[in-house]
Structure 1
């Protein structure tokens, strides 16, 4: 079992997903921009007994992200699952964010996911199996969240394109759309949301979904 890699392994969904897969006995690779974030997440995984490898990398640094994925693969083997959970979540209306700001948001919300997929999915396809999951959101575009709405629309398109490229070779690509603010003890509890990632990973090949929606409804 080669395990799971979580890119954007901070508090909230990233940590919850890492815990969910660790409880299944899977080795875990953690990637985040900050050393403190990685240490806190690794500490949260200790009770599971899972083997954990943590690597600092920024999702917008193509070389750094690829190197981080290689370092984890060297420890645990080619991942069974890669979860891309990095995002810039900010309120901005039309004209409120500079062009540079939009490019920076797009780099995290979409291009980082493409970088990760382009690095691991071909090897998964050669192996004949693998799962690549992206955290989505914004089921409907919101005018007070322009950059995030654009990014999450990009995620849906990216999932479709990656599925067309690698799905036939056994790579399950999908997104988990979270339709509200994530907080423990609410309808958007990260532990509940993490169940979608596990369900998508374990779906039979003939029943693959490209998107799971966490709407917050009971």
Structure 2
């Protein structure tokens, strides 16, 4: 079993998804910017007794991200599922954010996912299957969250492009749209949200969806 790669393995959705896949016995590769985050994520899946590898990388650093993904492949093989969960979540109204600020947000929210897919999806396609999932949000754009709204619209477009490129070879590409603030014990509990990722990964090909929406509450 080649396992799952979680990019953006911080508290909340990242760790919840890692736990969900580990619960099924999949080896886990965790990628995040900081060692403290990686240690916490590794501890979160420890009870499931699956192989775990960690690698520090910023999702906007293409070389570092590629090296981290290569490490995951070396340890566990070409992954069964890749989850891109990195994002910059910030409030900014029209005209408030500089060009550089928008570029930095776009790099995390969209380009990091594109680079991860370009690095791993060809091998998944050559093998004949796999799943590539991106955490989305903002089902409707909000003028107080301009950069995030633009980024999540970009995620939907990226999913469509990747589906055209790799879907015919058996790679299921989809996004999970989370329509509210994530917090344990609420309608947006990360453990409930993580169920969407497992469902999409195990979806039969004739029922593939390109987007799952978590609008609140347990499944």
TM-score (norm 1): 0.99
2:138 — aligned with what? Answer: 138
Aligned to 2:53: 53
RMSD of aligned Cα (Å): 0.6
Alignment of 1:4-153 (within 5 A): 4-153=4-153
Give the TM-score, by structure 2 length. Answer: 0.99
Q: Runs in 1 of length 4+ with deviation above 2 angstroms?
A: none
Indicate conservation of the 8 Å contact 2:186/2:217, yes or no.
no
Residues 192, 217 of structure 2: 8 Å contact kept: no
SS at match of 2:74: helix
Take 1:148 and 1:82, find their aligned partners in 2: how far apart are those partners? 22
Instruction: Determine the structure 1 residue equivalent to 2:189.
Output: 189
Classify the secondary structure of the residue corresponding to 1:72: helix
Moved more, 105-114 or 41-50: 41-50
Offset at residue 136 of structure 1 (A): 0.1
Structure 1 residues without counterparts, runs of 5 or longer: none
Write the deviation string for residues 95-138 of structure 1: whole angstroms up to 9, x where unpaired. Answer: 10000000000000000000000000011111000100000000
Write the distance in 2 (CA, Å) between the matches of 1:30 and 1:54.
5
- Displacement after TM superposition at 1:139 (Å): 0.1
User: In 1, Cα distance between the equivalents of 2:12 and 2:44?
Assistant: 12
Shift of 1:44: 1.2
Partner Cα separation in structure 2 for residue 217 and residue 84 of structure 1 = 23
- Cα distance in 1 for residues equivalent to 2:124 and 2:167: 10
Report how far residue 153 of structure 1 moved: 0.1
Gaps of at least 5 residues in structure 2 are none
Distance in 2, Cα, partners of 1:208 & 1:38: 31
Maintained 8 Å contact 2:188/2:217: no
Q: Secondary structure at the match of 1:212?
A: strand
* 1:217 positional shift: 4.5
Partner of 1:163: 163
